[in-house]
Amino acid sequence: MLILAHRGYHAAVAENTLEAFEAAIMAGVNGIETDVRMSRDGVPVLVHDRVMATGQAVSDLAHREIEGVLGYKIPTLDEALAHFPDILWNIEIKTLDRLSTVFGVLEKYQTRHRIIVSSFRHDLIAICASSLKLNCGLLVAHRPQTLDSLLADFDRDGNARINHLVWDYNVLDEALLMQAAANGFRNFVYGPVTRAEHEECRQMGVDGVITDYPLLMQGV
């Protein structure tokens, strides 16, 4: 089971920073999950929340203004991928805003890096699968009645790169996991907290866990 550090390992440093990614790698993770949003000046930056603590939207601020609000350096998508070429990346794209700019960065690295693109916007993932030579994943925050109902909007034959499902821990269903695996999907899970929850993921046979607690996974 792969261990991906959610926004890096941020126990002692700010999340989604080069320092958090370095700390995750030093902790022995297999991969890093991070989030991409667009700044006002058209830069794909690694920020999770849509709105800052000041109430300002990330999209209304330039890259350097975001750093000024947060008080620390925020890497761009380009900087992070260039800085850590050997780790597995799970890049969550938050919005359709200036998607071609984000795709342009990903295209630059798609032949040299291991990258999974994921999103709750499944329409965005369909665009990604047809535009880039990267593995793509659907983020799943609800428990579907059937796997077919989850995939109803997709032609698997035409979207072979949509090959990951990234499940919220709270909606895990072992039967759906098994069915997804039998249909060629890799199952990732985000959100387990306790050691017992991480162990449950392992026992269910998931392929990867996206966790805020990568050290907790040692020995699981």
Residues known to be catalytic: 6, 48
Amino acid symbol at 80: A
With beta carbons less than 8 A apart as the criterion, state whether 163 and 115 touch.
Answer: no
CA distances for 7 relative to 35, 122, 179, angstroms: 7, 21, 29
| Distance separating alpha carbons of residues 110 and 106, to the nearest angstrom | 6
- The total of other beta-carbon atoms located within 10 Å of residue 59's CB is 15
Candidates 38, 91, 87; CA nearest to 66 is 38
Q: Where are the beta strands (DSSP E) in the chain?
A: 2-6, 31-38, 44-45, 88-93, 114-119, 135-140, 162-168, 186-190, 208-211
As to burial, measured by CB atoms within 10 angstroms (0-12 exposed, 13-18 middle, 19+ buried), residue 218 is: exposed
In three-state secondary structure terms, 162 is strand
